[in-house]
Amino acid sequence: MDTIRQNRKADHINIALTSPFTLSSDFDELSFIHRSLPEVGMDDIQLQTNIGPLTLDYPIFINAMTGGSEKSGVINASLAEAASETGIAMAVGSQHAAIREEELAHTFKVVRKKNPNGLVFANIGADAPLDYALKAIEMLEADALQVHLNVPQELVMPEGERTFTSLLAKLEKLSAKLHVPVIVKETGFGMSTETLMQLQNAGIQYVDLGGKGGTNFIHIENERRSKRDFEYLKDWGQSTVVSLLEAQSELDELTIIASGGIRNPLDAVKSFSLGASAAGIAGPFLKILHDQGVAGLIMELEVWKEHLRMLLLLQGAKSIPNLKQCPIIAGGKVREWCEARGIDWQRLARRKP
């Protein structure tokens, strides 16, 4: 059994749970315009959204966190129980360990056991071969496959990869060969217009932007090192907000998922306004589970669902797509980024609901 990999997964959980919570965020640079007459009732609000052929009853989901160790198997079981109880979709962490070592497969299979009817996303790295993808999907009877990109994490990780050639060709092959949606996911460093165009040209249709602001894997891997010499890279990457703005020119071609530093339902709704079809949340839900157990997480997910309805009502939006017509104003450094990159922030501010 690969004890190094299992220890690494345990370290990831422990460091993530003890990392300080992000108080400020690029989401704070976005502002909605209050509507005194929304002309909408709570019963009018529909929270359903789509990722290709998949219909999510709610536009948030429990995003990829962990897997490949006994401790993470217990966490996966608890997350799956909460997902099943609330009707929220769920993604698992990287399944590489369980594909290599069959005795760890139960730490993932428990997700489908606890959540037999829910939407579940499998997860592998972008360098994984086709047979890994098929095994990951089969292991969970998965409805979609996340394929994660994590170059900065690998470089800081002492035992990480150092070669990243032909990843785009591998992603193109996976997307063409698999029978479920392939979601290409960054892991906390965001994406640019250029990256999104590369993915779209390779036939990718679904992208999780995975922006900076949530779990920071440079920080986590740096903490694991005996010589912690990568602290200066802790702010590497683009935030989720900036990544969403970078995606504006690709919204007609790609289904965009927002994740990374989404702290509350308002951050999620701002993401939907900028074109995201769904929002993935990991760290905040993991901490609720750790502190309050499954019952506490179920209660938190129900609160999110209710607050999402309230926030849509405040904008007079009956659905997630309606939010994409609501004006939203970018200020501060987010506006400066838009001006530097030629992104039309004024168009966003002048949209008509």
CATH number at residue 8: 3.20.20.70
Mean pLDDT (whole number) for 152-179:
93
Instruction: Count the domains in the chain.
Output: 1
Identify the three-state secondary structure at position 237.
coil
Does residue 19 carry a pLDDT above 70? no
Backbone angles phi, psi at 124, to 5 degrees: -140, 170
Angular region, 326: left φ>0, alpha ψ -120 to 50, beta rest: beta
| pLDDT per position as a tens digit, 244-288 | 999 999 999 999 999 999 999 999 999 999 999 999 999 999 999
* pLDDT of 63: 95
Q: Tell me the C-alpha distance between 302 and 3, whole Å.
A: 37
8 A C-beta contact, residue 237 and residue 259? no
Angular region, 87: left φ>0, alpha ψ -120 to 50, beta rest: left
Going by their DSSP bridges, the two strands 278-281 and 60-62 should be labelled as parallel
Alpha helix segments (H runs only) across 178-319: 193-201, 217-224, 240-246, 265-273, 283-314
Q: Where do the DSSP E strands lie in the chain?
A: 30-32, 49-51, 54-56, 60-62, 89-91, 120-125, 144-149, 182-186, 206-208, 255-259, 278-281, 328-330
What percent of the chain has pLDDT above 70?
93
Q: Tell me the C-alpha distance between 351 and 315, whole Å.
A: 12
H helix or E strand, kind and range, residue 338: helix 332-341
Determine the angle formed by the axes of helices 3-18 and 217-224, rounding to 10 degrees.
Answer: 120
8 A C-beta contact, residue 132 and residue 101? no
H helix or E strand, kind and range, residue 135: helix 130-140
Identify the three-state secondary structure at position 27.
helix
| pLDDT per position as a tens digit, 309-333 | 999 999 999 999 999 999 999 999 9
Supply 20's token pair. 């300080």
Mean pLDDT (whole number) for 109-114:
97
pLDDT band at 36 (very low <50, low <70, confident <90, very high): very high
Does residue 15 carry a pLDDT above 60? no
Chain CA centroid to CA 196, Å: 16
Q: Find the domain containing 28 and state its range.
A: 3-349
Q: Tell me the C-alpha distance between 270 and 281, whole Å.
A: 14
**Of 4 and 260, which is predicted with more confidence?**
260
